[in-house]
Structure 1
Amino acid sequence: MPHITVEYPEGVVDDKSVELILQTIHQSIAESGLFKADQIKARAYSFRHFTNAGGSDPYIHIQARIKSGRDADNKKKLSEVVLAGLAPLNLPVSVVTIEIIDMDRDSYGKHVPT
């Protein structure tokens, strides 16, 4: 936990940059102490068609899915550490946004094959 999904515009962010984004997010969260490094899962998907406030300025959106039960301060800290980690990358987009999404703790399931 958490499960991180990065959505970015196709053709604006190259594969090398996507890898750097994922590594930076992982490192930022791990260093925050909110989650253990071996619990962080991250993936990225590109999108081809989009609008941004009716225009065509590219953007990146990040979702962080975490088990329910964390307080608002921890969620805010998670958002802040991810955005602060990404800021020095000077990504070629007009904005980077993040949302923290609670996953129902009681219904969350996990299987680890042996």
Structure 2
Amino acid sequence: MPHLVIEYAEKLEESISIPALVSAAQQAMQSSGLFAPHTIKTRATPYRHFVAGDKGGSFLHAEVRLFEGRSDRERESLSATVFNTLCQFAEGVPAVTVEVREVDPSCYSKRLPF
């Protein structure tokens, strides 16, 4: 924990370096100072079939999942940091969104290293 999951319209792979986006987003999470760098997991998932608005445009959406305990200000700052990072890659993308979600630790399971 935390997890940063970036969802995007698959056709953006033609104009955006997804590996660079993932690296920049990982760095944004690290620069927030809210997490130990080794705990951050960032990944991206493309969507081929979707509807985004009435014209079917493209999108970038990031969901940050973290354990409870961060202040409203910390979550807002984190959201803005990730959002600004996505926007650096999103020229011409009509929908860019970020959501920060708190995970109840009692409902989260994790396999620990051996």
TM-score normalised by length of structure 1: 0.87
Q: Distance in 1 between matches of 2:68 and 2:32?
A: 19
Deviating above 3 A after TM superposition, structure 1's stretches of 4 or more consecutive aligned residues are none
- Say if 2:90 and 2:96, in contact at 8 Å, map to a contact too: no
Deviations 1:55-91 (A, max 9, x none): 2210111111111222211111111111222333344
Structure 1: runs of 5+ lacking an equivalent: none
* CA displacement at 1:113 relative to structure 2: 2.8
Q: Percent identity?
A: 31
CA RMSD of aligned residues (A): 1.9
Q: Distance in 1 between matches of 2:17 and 2:49?
A: 20
**Number of equivalenced pairs:** 114
1:22 match: 22
* CA displacement at 1:106 relative to structure 2: 2.4
SS at match of 2:80: helix
SS at match of 2:64: strand
Q: Distance in 1 between matches of 2:107 and 2:57?
A: 38
Structure 2: runs of 5+ lacking an equivalent: none
1:45 match: 45
Q: Distance in 1 between matches of 2:62 and 2:94?
A: 14
